[in-house]
Structure 1
Amino acid sequence: MAYKSEYLSTLDRRGYIHQLTDAEAIDARAMKPGLTAYVGFDLTGPSLHVGHLLSIMMLRRLQQFGGKPIALMGGGTTKVGDPSGKDTARQLLDEATIAANKASIKRVFERFLTFGDGPGDALMLDNAEWLDKLNYIEFLRDYGRHFSVNRMLSMDSVKLRLDREQPLSFIEFNYMVLQSYDFVELNRRHACVMQMGGSDQWGNITMGTDLGRRVAGAELFGLTTPLITNADGSKMGKTASGAVWLNSDALADWDYWQFWRNVDDRDVGRFLRLFTDMPDEEIARLEALQGAEINDAKVALANAATALCRGIEAAAACEATARATFAEGGAGEGLPQLVVSGTLALADALVASGLAASKGEARRKLSENAVRVNGAVVADPNLLVGAPAKLSLGKKKHALLVAG
């Protein structure tokens, strides 16, 4: 449909919308000031990854168009574990670990959202504030009666486990009930009327809108984003080295910048729309570039995405490192570094620097003539190397050996 609100029109044009519970009603509400919406984030690790970035950008877009975003930390629901997309139960974490993860994750949101006490300022809340205080019997009586077990069994997160004959604990089965209750509490406390999330959260979101209508007569809405895959069909945000983490202490700025710099040519325009604030006209110009010039668009994507998550200075430093490493043939001071004293075998250096995941992979790459030391191809895994030296694996992976 053709949306009337600038907010939904922009989301639609830039590729954020997968499903809406009531498109016309959400569009009408978005025409009024102060639309409040939330996304929930469980605290299963010390950093979120690129797979979470689309939801964070949705909150950012809401604030840009005058709405009030809520980033809901799952201090309570993390103790239960979301079964969505999982074949086995998540490891249950203790409260100290959850608190540490929350403190670490909070730092990223400050890059994307403006927090404060103003009407359009973002809020960061923790559902442990209300979930930890629930009286189980009262909760079952007041809210549990509104949930159909038949419907809960039909949810993808549950069906996946049952169809594969994987165990689903009773505590995990309760996750969708608690998530629905979060929505009701946020509506009561902060007049929040919309929950956003990935497409795998659609069932949980709609159960929350239903619960709000049943227990409070509230008109609540849901919006989901599409599953983002690369042009080749692979899952976006996964690399041979693992997840692309948002926190700089989990993944170096250089590696984050390189992730965006090395995306498939076919993904450049789409990722610019989803993961940067670049104007549509500039994106159209960049995605129209052909041949070697598409690399300019990739650098623009890497700079813009890195500036949002890591800061403008980090993006500029990474671009300068790339220029020194690739265009000018230099060492590039911003490359990952391995501090060494004395010498070590080249295969060991490749593993220790992170260029190879294992000694077996290092030996295989050496046999394929894919490894260079200071620009010269080397095939001997036992060659002793020391600082200073530049190691290269293929054309895109480099590291420096520095004396310690």
Structure 2
Amino acid sequence: MNFVEELRWRGMLHDIMPGTEEELAKGMVSGYIGFDPTADSLHVGSLAQILTLVRFQQAGHKPIALVGGATGMVGDPSGKSAERNLLSEEVLDHNLAGIRAQLEKFLDFDRGASSAEIVNNYDWFRTFSFLDFIRDAGKHITVNYMMAKDSVKKRIEGDTGMSFTEFSYQLIQGYDFYWLWKNKNCLLQMGGSDQWGNIVTGTELVRRKGAGTAYALTTQLIKKADGTKFGKTEGGNIWLDPAKTSPFKFYQFWLNATDEDAKNWTRIFSFRTHEAIIELEKQHDEAPHLRLMQKALAEELTVLVHSGEALQTALRTTEFLFNNGSTDFLSQLNHEQVLDVFEGVPAYPIAMEVLESGISITDLLGEKVPVFASKSEAKKMIAGGGVAVNREKIADPARLLTAAHLVNNKYLVAQKGKKNYFLIFVG
């Protein structure tokens, strides 16, 4: 199965320019996808494009990842209803470094002729004067052509309008394609379906300015079955950077997918064979309550994006929070990661001196930290067997807790009833 057939099977192919599939069948082709540095990390919405480049390389072609140091200064209007804030060069450089490091984790840079390459369009725009640009590129694309693009029409016809800065974006992206075609023999640009207008502007510039031929291919924009935005949660974007989205939260995002989404996303993101995916779908349908597809996808992608070790931490965290697992996993996390795991859970600092001399569980939870409104309330619930510390049920209100009970010499996890957690930490 060739690259285009692979995308079709996975439900990813959206638009393809005539002749593209035939060109790819002739032999190795260089193709690129652009990534805008709006943040110092990519998110799961970008993961589909990253994996498109990976599959492109696995099919024997040469992938080029373009990080938009220049286009990032302008802002892509595609899919946007308002002007985007412009970033300083210092912020852009920081973002570019983060994105480059992430891309290097996925692509193979030691594969001979089809080795991956990362380029930054600021390298060829930094010395390109405005007058040179409008003379050498602008004269080849008419305003009528640019105005006809959906991303432009929607903004111009809307209430916010569009600045010349954003209007020029498609011409700048088009020139990227021309430059890569001329200097890197890049014949194909790929991207999400919202990029079709910008991509074909590039093919037009290659045709009109370079008297050459270039090709275009776009993939489906990923959505949830309920119509809500993919990659968004109540807490915001699901990032690929573990400092922005912990491996636990990353794992939980995929684990909490609906059955329909899990089936669609497995075909899009999984590197399992077609036969393995079809078999997994069959097993899932036979016992949907086991959530086999969600678990398989969550595990595969957590390892792919983070690591096997990160997956084990995510599994132990899940086991602790939802299946009465041990608190031992806390010893493998730093303080920020622990707070991330317990996001939304009341967290209370306590001085080490309090525990060094020992304190009764009643005094600790009913006075030192406000787990209970009073010591009498604490005593009553403890005696009734409704309180646990570090998963150990404690029924004696006079039971002493000391520094020896701390996990990683820092944490106590109190539990009131079945679902009410409280994090107590030395600090």
* Aligned-partner Cα distance in 1 for 2:162–2:227: 29
Q: Check whether the contact 2:15–2:193 (CA below 8 A) recurs between aligned residues.
A: yes
Paired letter, 2:56: L
> What does residue range 76-155 of structure 1 map to in structure 2 within 5 Å?
76-116=70-110, 118-155=112-149
Q: Deviations over 1:106-165 (max 9, x none)?
A: 222122111248311110100001111112222212221111212212222222222222
Q: Does 1:178 align with 2:178?
A: no
Cα 1:346–1:41 change in 2 (3 A) is farther
Q: Check whether the contact 1:373–1:390 (CA below 8 A) recurs between aligned residues.
A: yes
* Aligned-partner Cα distance in 1 for 2:256–2:414: 21
* Aligned-partner Cα distance in 2 for 1:210–1:337: 52
Q: Check whether the contact 2:232–2:238 (CA below 8 A) recurs between aligned residues.
A: yes
Q: Deviations over 1:82-102 (max 9, x none)?
A: 111222211111111100001
Q: Check whether the contact 2:266–2:293 (CA below 8 A) recurs between aligned residues.
A: no
Aligned partner of 2:233 among 234, 239, 247: 239
State the shift of 1:191 in Å. 0.7
Identity %: 37
Q: Check whether the contact 1:111–1:310 (CA below 8 A) recurs between aligned residues.
A: no
Aligned partner of 1:192 among 186, 190, 201: 186
Q: Does 1:263 align with 2:257?
A: yes
Cα 1:264–1:254 change in 2 (3 A) is same
Aligned partner of 2:45 among 26, 35, 51: 51
Which residue is 1:315 aligned to?
311
* Aligned-partner Cα distance in 1 for 2:421–2:302: 19
Which residue is 2:407 aligned to?
none
Cα 1:155–1:389 change in 2 (3 A) is same
* Aligned-partner Cα distance in 2 for 1:308–1:35: 26
* Aligned-partner Cα distance in 1 for 2:312–2:269: 18
Paired letter, 1:110: E
Which residue is 2:277 aligned to?
283
* Aligned-partner Cα distance in 2 for 1:106–1:89: 26
Cα 1:388–1:298 change in 2 (3 A) is same
Which residue is 2:349 aligned to?
341
Q: Check whether the contact 1:340–1:387 (CA below 8 A) recurs between aligned residues.
A: no
Q: Check whether the contact 1:276–1:308 (CA below 8 A) recurs between aligned residues.
A: no
Three-state SS of the structure 2 residue aligned to 1:82 is coil
Name stretches of at least 5 consecutive residues in structure 2 with no aligned partner.
Answer: 340-346, 351-367, 373-386, 394-409
Which residue is 2:412 aligned to?
388
Q: Does 1:251 align with 2:245?
A: yes
State the shift of 1:292 in Å. 4.7
Paired letter, 1:330: S
State the shift of 1:18 in Å. 0.3
Which residue is 1:216 aligned to?
210
Which residue is 2:322 aligned to?
326
Which residue is 1:363 aligned to?
none
Q: Check whether the contact 2:371–2:422 (CA below 8 A) recurs between aligned residues.
A: no
Cα 1:321–1:138 change in 2 (3 A) is same
Largest Rg, 1 or 2:
2
State the shift of 1:294 in Å. 4.0
Which residue is 2:382 aligned to?
none
State the shift of 1:271 in Å. 0.9
* Aligned-partner Cα distance in 2 for 1:201–1:57: 17
State the shift of 1:202 in Å. 0.6
Aligned partner of 1:70 among 59, 64, 73: 64
Q: Check whether the contact 1:325–1:332 (CA below 8 A) recurs between aligned residues.
A: no
Which residue is 1:15 aligned to?
11
State the shift of 1:75 in Å. 0.3
Three-state SS of the structure 1 residue aligned to 2:186 is coil
Tell me the TM-score normalized by structure 1. 0.83
Paired letter, 1:64: Q
Cα 1:391–1:198 change in 2 (3 A) is farther
Q: Does 1:201 align with 2:209?
A: no
Paired letter, 1:185: W
Name stretches of at least 5 consecutive residues in structure 1 with no aligned partner.
Answer: 348-371, 377-385
Tell me the TM-score normalized by structure 2. 0.79
* Aligned-partner Cα distance in 2 for 1:232–1:215: 44
Cα 1:391–1:19 change in 2 (3 A) is farther
Cα 1:295–1:331 change in 2 (3 A) is farther
Task: Count residues in correspondence.
Answer: 364
* Aligned-partner Cα distance in 1 for 2:164–2:258: 42
Cα 1:345–1:198 change in 2 (3 A) is farther
State the shift of 1:204 in Å. 0.6
Which residue is 2:155 aligned to?
161
* Aligned-partner Cα distance in 1 for 2:369–2:12: 49
